[in-house]
Amino acid sequence: MPILRGKNVLLRPYRRSDLPGILSWTNDTEATRYLTEIFDQPYTEKNGEDFLNYALSGGSDCMMFVMADPVTEEYWGQISLERINRRDGTAEVGVVLAKEEHRGKGIGREALSLLLRYAFDTLGLRRVELTVFAENSRARLCYLKAGFIEEGVARQKTWKNGKFHDVVSMAVLRDEWAKREEQA
C-alpha cells in the first residue's frame, strides 16, 4: 500500500494502533448518521478488530487508507477505494472523517483529491463513484468540489434511524478529473 501525502492530510495504510481511532467514532451517532452502510451498534472492540483485520489483509478489489495528521500520523478517519473492477476501470469511494473538529476544513476534499489522483493516474481507473444520503449537504458539496457529478437519486433507498432516506449517486470520470486538474 502506498502512502499519499497532501499538505493537510496523509493517506496511509492501517496499523494495529489505529483500533482506538476506529472505536472513537463507530458508536458516535453524529459521526455515523449519514453513512449509507449500517454499523451494528454498539460497535464492539471485537467488531473493530474484525474490521482492522479486514483492512490489513488488503483484498485485490479494495484499498483502504487511514486519513491522518500529516505530521503525527494520528488517525483522523478513513477513505477507501472499494469494489475495484479493473476490467471496467471502476471503483467506489467510502469516506469518514471521525471527528467534527476535522470537518469543514477541506481535509476531506484534499483526501479525495489524493485518492482520485491515485485511482486515475496509478491504477488507471476510468470512473470513480459513490453514494451519499440526499440530506447530507456538506458531503455532497465536498464531492461536487472534488469533481463528482450527481447522476441520480434512489428514492427511499436506505432505512436508517427510523426512516427511509433518499440516496444520491455521484461519479467522476478520469477525463473530467484530468480537465479540472489542468485548470487548477
In angstroms, rounded to a whole number, what is the distance separating the alpha carbons of residues 177 and 163? 35
pLDDT at 31 > cutoff 80: no
Cell of 5: 501525502
Spatial contact of 21 and 98, defined as CB atoms under 8 Å apart = yes
User: Could you tell me the domains of the chain?
Assistant: 4-183 (3.40.630.30)
pLDDT at 26 > cutoff 90: no
In angstroms, rounded to a whole number, what is the distance separating the alpha carbons of residues 177 and 3? 21
Instruction: Quote the longest CA-to-CA distance of the chain.
Output: 46
- Strands 90-97 and 75-85, by their bridges, are antiparallel
Q: How far apart are the first and last CA of the chain?
A: 27
167 SS3 class: strand
Quote the pLDDT of residue 98. 83
In angstroms, rounded to a whole number, what is the distance separating the alpha carbons of residues 3 and 26? 24
Quote the pLDDT of residue 36. 64
**Nearest to residue 123, comparing CAs of 38, 37, 60?**
60
Quote the pLDDT of residue 96. 87
Under the banding of pLDDT at 50, 70 and 90, the label for residue 155 is: very high
pLDDT at 38 > cutoff 70: no
Under the banding of pLDDT at 50, 70 and 90, the label for residue 160 is: confident
- Chain segment 60-85, per-residue pLDDT in tens: 799 999 999 999 999 999 999 999 99
Return the residue matching grid coordinates 493537510: 8
Alpha helix (H) residue ranges in the chain: 19-26, 29-32, 45-57, 107-117, 137-145, 174-183
How many other C-beta atoms are found inside a 10 Å radius of the C-beta of residue 77? Answer: 24
- Chain segment 86-123, per-residue pLDDT in tens: 999 999 999 988 877 788 888 999 999 999 999 999 99
Cell of 42: 454498539
pLDDT at 171 > cutoff 70: yes
Quote the pLDDT of residue 39. 65
pLDDT at 34 > cutoff 80: no
Under the banding of pLDDT at 50, 70 and 90, the label for residue 40 is: low
* Mean pLDDT rounded to a whole number for the chain: 91
